[in-house]
Amino acid sequence: MKQLFITDVSPRDGLQNQALHLSTQDKRWLIEALSDSGIPRIEATSFVSPTGVPQMADAADLLAAVTGPASDKLCVLVPNSKGLFRAQDAGAREICVVLSATETMNQRNIRMGMAQAVSACLDVLQQAQEAGLRTRAYVAVAFACPFEGQTSPDLVMQLSKQMADAGADEVVIADTIGAAHPSQVSNLMGDLINTMGADRLGLHLHDTRGLGLANAWAAMQVGVNRFDSSAAGLGGCPFAPGAAGNLATEDLAWLAHESGYETGIDIPALLQVVEGLSMRLKKPLGGRSYAWLKQHFSKVSAEPHHALPGKQA
């Protein structure tokens, strides 16, 4: 059976733009519940300025709080060397850097121009590797930028190759504002797979224009098998106007399951995560399939954590 590897980013990308700030213990619950549902990797937090993103001010405390199997699945975002050193001190084992594919987005996101941002990412990747950490490199606004419009695919290819050549274990192409359409995704991701191979390539999708799942399917058809998504569709970059929620993990997991892909995710357990998030954030949440999935699985079994057909025991 074909494998699909999902990184859930709800604790970081999902919560960073929420008006209601969750406590460290609620974030711990989220991470450990995601892990228990079978999510193989979780983007837990970011070591950024607490002034710029106050929702992530407890990054070090959160890593210390998470224990058990979940602690082995965590990656964290770092904007620069200072963030990397803080993450190391907190015990991080995998870090992510973010390089935007336009000048203006780099200025808005990390207050650096393109050349300086590339150099900073390369430095952090090198330092992280020397420290024995796994690394991911995001290429953000890879399809369109809220400030500069359509992004050059050739530039995205160039930047992705730079990050891969610098030793990033995974290069993640990010549709930061959810502006891509399936043919764009097929073309860019197909070209990148031909250049880099599928094993080191991921895709981070937002659902701003309702095409998140269609874009995921287009990517799957050209061989992409690594995706970021967010439980309940939470998300939105505070520095990117129009960056609505991420592709919902429950939608992606169900698409994968119905299409013959193995994810290792227990969807009923994941639905309980969505329910818990709704309660804690005090608003109804869920991806496009959530209401149907909840009704469907309530009929299938009364067991809260039963295995899906094809799910590994």
For the residues of 274-309, what is the DSSP string, one character each? Answer: HHHHHHHHTS----TTHHHHHHHHHHH-S-TTPPPT
Residue 211 confidence (pLDDT) above 50: yes
pLDDT for 40 beyond 80: yes
Q: What count of residues does the chain have?
A: 313
Look at residue 169 in the predicted model and tell me its pLDDT: 97
Kindly list the distances between the CA atom of residue 36 and the CA atoms of 33, 197, 227, 247, 301, in Å, as whole numbers in the listed order: 5, 30, 19, 20, 18
For residue 58, pLDDT over 80 is answered with: yes
Q: What is the pLDDT of residues 118-139, one digit of tens each?
A: 999 999 999 999 999 999 999 9
pLDDT per residue over 75-118, tens digit each? 999 999 999 999 999 999 999 999 999 999 999 888 889 999 99
Q: How confident is the model at residue 238 (pLDDT cuts 50, 70, 90)?
A: low
Residue with tokens 């991701």: 189
**33 falls within a domain:** yes
Q: Would you say residue 66 lies in a domain?
A: yes
Q: Which residues contact residue 196 at a Cβ distance below 8 angstroms, ignoring those fewer than 6 apart?
A: 160, 161, 164, 171
Whether residue 95 is contained in a domain is answered as: yes
| pTM confidence score | 0.93
Catalytic annotation, residues: 237
Mean predicted confidence (pLDDT) in 144-162: 97
Residue 310, pLDDT > 50, answer no
Predicted confidence band of residue 302 (pLDDT cuts 50, 70, 90): very low
Hey, what's the torsion of the CAs at 196, 202, 204, 237, to 10 degrees? -80
Query: What is the pLDDT confidence band of residue 229, given thresholds at 50, 70 and 90?
Result: very high
What pLDDT is recorded for position 220?
98
Residue 262's domain comprises: 2-300
Q: What's the total number of domains in the chain?
A: 1
Q: Rounded distance, CA 289 to CA 220, Å?
A: 19
Residue recorded with tokens 């200025």? 107
Enumerate the H helices of the chain as residue ranges: 24-36, 59-65, 81-89, 103-110, 114-130, 153-165, 182-196, 212-221, 249-258, 267-281, 290-300
* Percent of the chain residues past pLDDT 90, beyond the cut: 87
**pLDDT at residue 286 is higher than 70:** yes
Q: What is the pLDDT of residue 117?
A: 95
CB 198 within 8 A of CB 168: no
Q: Does the structure show a pLDDT above 50 at 148? A: yes
CATH number, domain of 13, equals 3.20.20.70
Q: Does the pLDDT at position 226 exceed 50?
A: yes
Burial of residue 123 (number of CB atoms within 10 Å: 0-12, 13-18, 19+)? middle
**pLDDT value at 311 more than 70:** no
- Residue 85 domain-assigned? yes
Q: Is 220 inside a domain boundary?
A: yes
Residue 308 in domain: no
Q: Give the model's pLDDT for residue 245.
A: 84
With beta carbons less than 8 A apart as the criterion, state whether 183 and 159 touch.
no
Alpha carbon separation from 183 to 35, 101, 186, 191 (Å, rounded): 33, 19, 5, 12
Q: Which of 20, 17, 13, 27 is nearest to 273 (CA)?
A: 27
Given a cut of 80, is residue 236 above it in pLDDT?
A: no
- On whether residue 88 sits in a domain, the answer given is yes
Mean pLDDT, rounded, of the chain: 93
Domain contains 311: no
Residue 233: pLDDT over 80:
yes
Phi, psi of 101 (to 5 degrees): -90, 10
Distance CA 110, CA 97 (A): 11
Backbone dihedral angles phi then psi of residue 139, each to the nearest 5 degrees:
-110, 100
Tokens 């809260």 correspond to 304
What pLDDT was estimated at residue 38?
98
pLDDT single digits (tens) 179-197: 999 999 999 999 999 999 9
